[in-house]
Structure 1
Amino acid sequence: MAVLHNRVSNKELKQRMLDSNEPRTTISFYKYHRIEDPQAFRDELWKGLTGLGVFGRIYVANEGINAQVSVPTGNVDAFKAYLYSYEWMNALRLNIAVDDDGKGFWVLKIKVRDKIVADGIDDPTFDVNKTGKYLKANEYNELAKSDDTIIIDMRNHYEYEVGHFKNAIEVPSDTFREQLPMAVDMMKGNEEKNIIMYCTGGIRCEKASAYMLHNGFKNVYHVEGGIINYVNQVKTEALEQEFIGKNFVFDDRLGERVTEEIIAQCHQCGKPADTHVNCANDGCHLLFIQCAECEEKYQQCCSKECIEELALPEEERKEVRRGRKMDQNVFNKSRSRKRLDGTIGEV
């Protein structure tokens, strides 16, 4: 049987990508659709996309597909034709990245999951296909003006922190599965109001809109294609920009600049900053916001302890890391988390 995965080291693959002058385009897409044999579909997809030079991260489950990929720009049309050859993906909306050099991925990973978005829902009567109404950018701008409209951000805290729609409400929980019931509880008493939900590319807010309808809310909407599609439509149609700051993305870029406003702060000194980094100490790898001054001062580490650990010989670092329990710091999703000074509280 053919081995349907990569045999070259991740480090070498990344260097190959960085050394290449081939232009690439970052594209994200998703589709809720019943897939009877996700593993067989995964293997078929891997062969087809590998032949087109596609890199990226794709999740496949019985409920559908969720993908963020980097495609050689010259192969974008062939990539679309390949996806559209599947009847259920024909004319699928593809979100083109906003601020991008195409080098966010250097390997293709396709994984089979229980769900493309983990939601914790075990109610057999819930139907993910009974969603709220899509809103195009101009429709969002108009509806957002109404006093009867509530805007809900269905992303994690570290995403909301660097950029969000004006007047959007954050749902401060650690996971999407916790956000769903929390959003319902937060909105009790507003069943007749306009509820607009949004996320990065549309996949979370689409499921969230279905869950809100399932729980008795009447007028539920979600931004079609999420922030990425909204921003592209605003540019194309010369509309008023209602999203401020940066759009966090889950690839090597860690963010797309949308507007020049910097609405977050450096987690080490408190100065205005919105650049996410991972601690240079692989034994920590904390995701946090760091300004240029602190990056130099702390050598892209989150603390003096990590600087000291990073300076140790590799074998000593391995000993220090051995048995260490990694916690939610790597991708912390709530406002309540460990500060970089070691205390606990809001960041």
Structure 2
Amino acid sequence: MQLWNTFSKEELEQKLREAGHEFVTISFYKYAKIANPQIFRDYIYQLLNNNQVLGRIYVAHEGINAQISVPTNRLNEFRTDLYSIDFLNEVRLNIAVEEEGAEFPFLKLKVKVRSKILADGLTDESFDVTDIGKHLKAEEFNELTQDPNTILIDFRNHYEHEVGHFKGAILPDVDTFRESLPIIEDAYLKGNEDKNIVMYCTGGIRCEKASAWFKHRGFKNVHQLEGGIIKYANECKEKGLDNRFIGKNFVFDERRGERITDDVVSNCHQCGEPADVHVNCANEACHLLFIQCEKCTAKYESCCTPECQEITHLSFEEQKALRKGLENSNKIFKKGRAEHLLQKLNQ
């Protein structure tokens, strides 16, 4: 049995349109001890594929991390099948705050085995990732973050909190989770061992590992926002609570963001006007992710520079030849840290 996808992007989009499914976007994770990630990977692939689920899933010895789209008419079956796995029984499913922003958040199902479900750069074998800090529901989070003895830290990368964050949060200028752990400890936590440490991220997976790490490092009052921004926004809406998040929540699918409030807290990286829409440069040899307003989108045709714009006017074969041998993934994931984006550098 084939346990992977072989269709092109265009073929996948056409198949989805023909199927006519409505999807709900869901994320979930679970730290657990998986003895054989490859066998589990093949099993979970078949389970999800049988339910026509699309998305991106990472499996490792330390657990599973998933961002997926589930057909609404298969949601009950998917939940039943997923919960039939012992360590995933009743696992929290974070439902997207909004579905606007992309026709299909995911085009295919990808399940990959990784060394870790969240790269952390840690080598301490005595570290127990399951010895986590205290989870806070939305109301508890609101209450504790008003305490002057509390340090609130955004545990996402700079391009994420640039478009939205909690009021009063520390916003570390980091590119990756692995670099955030030592930077946050050295810059913000040392000397504050007696304070309440409250962390938040998109869906909770980064804070869960970070809370366990900081407990391992000797910090006592470690907390995390349960379910991250996604669950918080839904909980505030359901219970009529004061929503203290402003702007957009960056998400790692084709939507690139879900709006929590109407506040626009960031600026176009080209002209400096208020904007919070992330785009990838239309030049496939560049593909840089940056913030672009509607006027600059029209002016530069979704490109980050006039040079990239010129390249997009070349034939497909000419563009393909220019891309040959280039490795630009690290530059892409600098998320706007480029010398030609002067507005970003000057913020």
After TM superposition, the score normalised by the length of structure 2 is 0.95
CA distance in 2, matches of 1:244, 1:341: 24
State whether structure 2 residue 183 is matched by structure 1 residue 182: yes
State whether structure 2 residue 168 is matched by structure 1 residue 167: yes
Could you tell me how far 1:124 is from its partner in structure 2? 1.3
Could you tell me how far 1:57 is from its partner in structure 2? 0.4
Q: Which residue of 1 aligns with 2:121?
A: 120
CA distance in 2, matches of 1:260, 1:62: 41
Q: 1:332 to 1:213 in 2, by over 3 A?
A: same
- Matched to 1:291, the amino acid is C
Q: Structure 2: 5+ residue runs without aligned partners?
A: none
Q: Which residue of 2 aligns with 1:28?
A: 27
CA distance in 1, matches of 2:16, 2:230: 24
Give the counterpart of 1:263 among 262, 265, 276: 265
Alignment of 1:125-164 (within 5 A): 125-164=126-165
- Matched to 1:33, the amino acid is A
Q: Which residue of 2 aligns with 1:284?
A: 286
Q: 1:112 to 1:190 in 2, by over 3 A?
A: same
- Matched to 2:39, the amino acid is A
CA distance in 1, matches of 2:55, 2:83: 18
Quick check: 1:60–1:115 contact (8 Å CA) kept in 2? yes
Quick check: 2:154–2:200 contact (8 Å CA) kept in 1? yes
Per-residue CA deviation, residues 158-200 of structure 1 (Å, 9 max, x unaligned), is 1010001111112222221111111111211101101101110
Q: 1:82 to 1:346 in 2, by over 3 A?
A: farther
- Matched to 1:193, the amino acid is K
Could you tell me how far 1:7 is from its partner in structure 2? 2.4
CA distance in 2, matches of 1:80, 1:315: 45
Per-residue CA deviation, residues 213-269 of structure 1 (Å, 9 max, x unaligned), is 111211110000110011110000000001110000010000000000000000000
Could you tell me how far 1:342 is from its partner in structure 2? 7.0
Could you tell me how far 1:327 is from its partner in structure 2? 5.4
Quick check: 1:25–1:71 contact (8 Å CA) kept in 2? yes
Could you tell me how far 1:319 is from its partner in structure 2? 2.4
Q: 1:302 to 1:18 in 2, by over 3 A?
A: farther
Q: Which residue of 1 aligns with 2:313?
A: 311
- Matched to 2:155, the amino acid is M
- Matched to 2:183, the amino acid is M
CA distance in 2, matches of 1:213, 1:190: 13
Q: Structure 1: 5+ residue runs without aligned partners?
A: none
Quick check: 2:157–2:173 contact (8 Å CA) kept in 1? yes
CA distance in 2, matches of 1:92, 1:111: 20
SS, match of residue 277 in structure 1? strand
Aligned length: 344
CA distance in 2, matches of 1:151, 1:62: 31
Quick check: 2:98–2:259 contact (8 Å CA) kept in 1? yes
Could you tell me how far 1:16 is from its partner in structure 2? 2.6
Q: Which residue of 2 aligns with 1:103?
A: 104
Q: Which residue of 2 aligns with 1:204?
A: 206
Deviates more, 1:94-103 or 1:75-84: 94-103
Quick check: 2:136–2:225 contact (8 Å CA) kept in 1? yes
- Matched to 2:286, the amino acid is C
SS, match of residue 70 in structure 1? strand
Per-residue CA deviation, residues 89-140 of structure 1 (Å, 9 max, x unaligned), is 1111100000115820120000000000000111111111111100000000
Quick check: 1:184–1:215 contact (8 Å CA) kept in 2? no
Per-residue CA deviation, residues 262-300 of structure 1 (Å, 9 max, x unaligned), is 000000000000000101111110000000000000000
- Matched to 1:252, the amino acid is E
- Matched to 1:338, the amino acid is A
CA distance in 2, matches of 1:342, 1:240: 36
Quick check: 1:267–1:340 contact (8 Å CA) kept in 2? no
Sequence identity (%): 54
CA distance in 1, matches of 2:144, 2:259: 25
Q: Which residue of 2 aligns with 1:89?
A: 88
Q: Which residue of 2 aligns with 1:229?
A: 231
State whether structure 2 residue 263 is matched by structure 1 residue 254: no
CA distance in 2, matches of 1:194, 1:232: 25
Q: 1:170 to 1:343 in 2, by over 3 A?
A: closer
Could you tell me how far 1:317 is from its partner in structure 2? 1.6
SS, match of residue 310 in structure 2? helix
Q: 1:331 to 1:346 in 2, by over 3 A?
A: farther
Q: Which residue of 1 aligns with 2:340?
A: 340
CA distance in 2, matches of 1:339, 1:250: 24
Could you tell me how far 1:322 is from its partner in structure 2? 2.3
Alignment of 1:67-86 (within 5 A): 67-86=66-85
Quick check: 2:264–2:276 contact (8 Å CA) kept in 1? yes
CA distance in 2, matches of 1:110, 1:324: 26
State whether structure 2 residue 247 is matched by structure 1 residue 245: yes
After TM superposition, the score normalised by the length of structure 1 is 0.95
